[in-house]
Amino acid sequence: MMLTAQPRSTALSSEIQHVLTVRAPEIITGGRRKFMSKRSILQVKAVIQSGNNKKTANTVEKSAEESKMVSSGKSGNLDVRAVITLRKKMKEKITDKIEDQWESLMNGIGRGILIQLISEDIDPVTKSGKIAESYVRGWLSKPSDHPYIVEYAADFRVPRDFGRPGAIIITNFLDKEIHLVQIVVHNFNEGPIFFSANTWIHSRKDNPESRIIFQNQAYLPSETPPGIKDLRREDLLIIRGTGKGERKLHERIYDYDVYNELGNPDKSEDLARPLIGGKERPYPRRCRTGRSPTKTDPLAESRIEKPHPVYVPRDETFEEIKQNTFSAGRLKALLHNLVPLIAATLSSSDIPFTNFSDIDKLYNDGFELNDDEHSQKNKFLSDTLDKVFSVSKRLLKYEIPAIIKRDRFAWLRDNEFARQALAGVNPVNIELLREFPIVSKLDPAVYGPPDSAITRDLIEQELNGLTVEEAIEDKRLFILDYHDMLLPFIGKMNSLPGRKAYASRTLLFHTSRGILKPIIVELSLPPTPSSPRNKRIFTHGHDSTSHWIWNLAKAHVCSNDAGIHQLVNHWLRTHACMEPYIIATHRHLSSMHPIYKLLHPHMRYTLEINALARQSLINGGGVIEACFSPGRYSMEISSAAYKSMWRFDMEALPSDLIRRGMAVEDPSMPLEVKLVIEDYPYAADGLLIWSAIKEYVESYVEHYYSEPNSVTSDVELQGWWNEIKNKGHPDKKDEPWWPKLVTKEDLSGILTIMIWIASGQHAAINFGQYPFGGYVPNRPTLMRKLIPREDDPSYENFILHPEFTFLASLPTQLQATKVMAVQDTLSTHSADEEYLHQVHELQRFSLNDHEVLKISERFCAKLEEIEHTINQRNKDNRLKNRSGAGIPPYELLLPTSGPGVTCRGIPNSISI
């Protein structure tokens, strides 16, 4: 029967308001995702056994009506109403609008969406949860305060002893998928019962299985109400899939695979790439897509090239506002690439920067073709450019990067070079020098004598009277060491056109005035018969020639730093390593599991951005290969780093700082660690964020795991951790350093690492990419020339034109603009970003637990205090690495941010 629409409850309005304000400041985004699978209850199987035909629908409706009539003749019944909130597309095509009308018609006659309430109580006859079902009805959707939100109702008559609904099974008989925001069930004694969803519900024509949504209540597996136990188990089984077949875009199956789709051997032999993941090239696993193998290589998976989407489970995809933000970035990248590409075509080569004014034009003028050049081109190209220019010339200009906005010459100074090792976009590679002489761990039979060319005499010339031993004992010497990581690849890298690189070591000295400065750079090439110690030493000089040579040496170090940052610290240690945690969480932790609810905000959009990276950034011929020194060997270097240095337990910030010698254990300090360099902005602010996350997680875990053996008896949790090791990181599954999962302390430690990686760690090394890397000389991503020697033919030209030699060694204009466009996109916060300080709001609509809400409130209050502390630190003129003339404040670990390139803000998840 149809009932007239009734006013929404205050609670329902609050939920919608949350979606409109917290989740997207201006427009609805619906990014939260709860994952539901097929039902297992015998009573409802008839609904899903055949196609969406009239006979089946009529049978189901008749059965539902008869059930109501029978129950109404007994002792008493309840009339309950489920209010269903759907989100419409923001941008609708004509076909979408027609489908909307069809949706309204089908719902009006009760043929569109079937809702089934499943009780937490057992039906004594069926031995499973009691069930009540009804179609969504109403000729018109209920008016909403927002144009993208529509509401429908489904009415039920249930026995008074039905019990509390614990799950809802929803079947979509419409011809298109729908986005379900939430369902609220009214008129039970407990008051409104919320089923938060924010998920896509596939059409039954795509998949006959229905979807399960559990109410906003967290249950450990052993505490699951008996009526929904089977649904909990079946939900996880369908999410895991069978490991077979190609995944369809509407599916929500999570499984593992190796990186076997980075190359495209069918397109070109030059685009073939080795498999990443396995004994030879170990790596974390990615989300399986199941595409067919290539014709050329049966071990390689065929590629889906842009603009076609790569499969990720349906609710992992970007919502519309995120798509719009990312598409705008891609458009900007297209424009930035298009114009220099045309310029390169006109000159028959990709041209270098010839003077610093060429770089300044990127920000002041942008790229424009002259009118006479327009007239010489074909009409299609001219028309295309005319459209581009008529849309917005601003798109052809870059914003001035933060690193030169206050002081355009800061990048030239040694103290700024060193400062960025502590407060730049890659502050995680600097280490304390603890032993001398410096010795390589590489095989001397292959890579030459292991001793560094950095001698005691060279160092002590820079130590203001200290000996090397005294400086080491006083913890005053530091090193950026990319020697062993890069030297095995340098020969292959330098064989690539337009690439010339060294393996580098950089020694830095912390002065008595608290200033860090670089003192020696060692650049190494693979040994040759004539030069078994193929190493060069550079120090900052006092004459013009040595000054320019020193700047070239620093540029090579920056190029190495940029490559290791992108391929190891950014991609591998955050994006790639987070992916198996997310897959395992969905496969083993029910959406009712408290740990799932804790981790859920920290998994948003990561699989999608990783899939896009595999498609366009780290793939064969992609932006990283085209614009960074390692070229086609990029992912092999990333794999080698994973093999030699990645450890889960060392991803904890305090452990990493101690491992690098940047902190020492100190029981008197809050986290029992003390920084070796107090003015280390990344570490100082990071420890504040780490401590807040740790406290939050420990309180949360204590709330759910207060009973003895509750961690070891949690079958879902144990399966989750075992799979992370054995399937997510199988190439390292036997390492002894994996934490045990026995106590609540073990669990808290594991979860703190994961949440830190997804939030603070990623923010610190991602959102400064354009502010620091947008000025090419400050952070070149590759070098195209070796440093000239006195006996080189090019040396005379260097003496005559040192500026040109320097600029000609940097990336070309096309390479630079490609990288800048990508860095600009990766540094941009979307308008629907969800930040760490919003955890309380997110938990409030996924958990019905007042104690957890108090815990999250305390966490958010702590983050507000931290933000104040960081702002105060940035005003402290004693902290030279974050304040001073021309020095940008260190804000990368400030919790809050607005949209855009802000160089601040900690999102909950790796969302870009």
Instruction: State the pLDDT at residue 149.
Output: 87
> Tens digits of per-residue pLDDT, 533-576?
899 999 988 899 999 999 999 999 999 999 999 999 999 999 99
H/E element, 201:
strand 193-201
3-state secondary structure of 828: strand
- pLDDT for position 322: 67
pTM, 2 dp: 0.89
In angstroms, the Cα distances linking 12 to 82, 166, 293, 857 are 11, 18, 48, 21
Burial state string for 389-406 with b = 16 or more CB within 10 A and e = fewer than 16: eeeeeeebbbbbbbbbbe
- What distance in Å separates the CA atoms of residue 519 and residue 136, rounded to the nearest whole number? 73
| Coil/strand/helix, residue 44 | helix
330 has pLDDT over 50? yes
Q: Is the peptide bond before 307 cis (omega within 30 degrees of 0)?
A: yes
Chain-centroid distance, C-alpha 391: 31
Give CA–CA dist 12/497, Å, rounded: 61
The residue to which tokens 């009804």 are assigned: 134
Distance, CA of 80 to chain centre: 42
8 Å CB contact between 174 and 101: no
Pick the CATH number of 77-214 from 1.10.10.410, 2.60.60.20, 3.40.50.720, 3.30.70.270: 2.60.60.20
355-394 residue pLDDT tens:
999 899 888 776 543 344 444 444 444 444 444 333 344 3
pLDDT tens per residue, range 280-295: 999 999 999 999 999 9
Confidence of residue 60 (pLDDT cuts 50, 70, 90): very low
Residue position matching structure tokens 């400041």? 25
Measured CA to CA, the distance from residue 611 to residue 607 in angstroms comes to 6
How far is 109 from 118, CA to CA, in rounded Å? 24
Tokens of 180: 């379900």
> Rounded to whole angstroms, how far apart are CA atoms 807 and 885?
27
At 112 the pLDDT is 87
Q: State the pLDDT confidence band at 91, using cuts at 50, 70 and 90.
A: low
Residue (of 463, 477, 467) closest to 430 by Cα position: 477
For the chain, the structural domain boundaries read 77-214, 404-561
**Span 735-744, average pLDDT:** 98
Structure tokens at 729: 């990181």
Whether pLDDT at 35 is above 70 = no
Nearest in space to 806 (alpha carbons), one of 491, 508, 563, 558: 558
The reported pLDDT for the residue numbered 367 is 53
Confidence of residue 38 (pLDDT cuts 50, 70, 90): very low
CB count within 10 Å of CB 313 equals 25
Taking residues 326-337, what's their average pLDDT?
55
Of residues 87, 240, 129, 135, the one with CA closest to residue 586: 240
Per the CB < 8 A criterion, the answer to whether 427 and 433 are in contact is: no
Residues 6+ apart with CB under 8 A from 815: 350, 626, 627, 781, 782
Interval 493-521: pLDDT, tens: 999 999 999 999 999 999 999 999 999 99
The conformation of residue 230, written as its DSSP 8-state character, comes to H
Q: What is the 3-state secondary structure (H, E, C) of 421-458?
A: HHHCCCCCCCEECCCCCCECCCCHHHHCCCECCCCHHH
**What is d(CA 680, CA 508) in angstroms, rounded to the nearest whole number?**
14
Q: CA 570, 572, 573 angle in degrees (round to 5)?
A: 70
Residues in the chain: 912
Provide the 8-state DSSP code for 301: B
Class level of CATH domain 404-561: alpha beta
Q: What pLDDT digit, counting tens, does each position of 849-895 carry?
A: 999 999 999 999 999 999 999 999 999 999 999 999 999 999 999 99
> Active-site residue numbers?
570, 575, 762, 766, 912
- Report the alpha-carbon distance of residue 322 to residue 328 in Å, rounded: 10
Average pLDDT in the chain: 86
